[in-house]
Amino acid sequence: MTTTERIIKIIKELKGGDIQEDNLIRSGFLDSFDMIKLTDAIAREFKKNIEGKDITEENFNSVRAIAALVEK
C-alpha cells in the first residue's frame, strides 16, 4: 500500500465515507480538530511525528501534500 493510499484510508476512518483528495481544508472537509486527529493517526501509522511548524494549510490541503510531508 502506498503512502497516499494509507493516508486516504486514515482520512476515511476519521471522516467516514468517500473523501475528496484536494481542497481538504479550504472546502471545509477537514477542520482544525480533524487536523489534530489526523496528525495523531499519521504518527501512529507511519511512526513519524509531525512538528507543529509543519501543520499548515499548505501541507494538509490535499492528500498529495500530506503524503509529501510524511515522506520528507
Domains of the chain: 3-71 (1.10.1200.10)
Give strand ranges (E) for 1-72.
none
Tens of pLDDT, residue by residue over 13-49, are 998 878 878 899 989 899 889 999 999 999 999 999 9
Confidence at residue 21, expressed as pLDDT on a 0 to 100 scale: 80
Cβ contacts of 47 within 8 Å, gap of 6 or more: none
Confidence at residue 63, expressed as pLDDT on a 0 to 100 scale: 94
pTM value? 0.88
Confidence at residue 62, expressed as pLDDT on a 0 to 100 scale: 94
Locate 27 and state its grid cell.
472546502
Residue 65 has pLDDT above 90, yes or no: yes
Residue 72 has pLDDT above 90, yes or no: no
CA distance 13 to 21: 14
Identify which of 11, 7, 9 has the alpha carbon closest to the alpha carbon of residue 46. 7
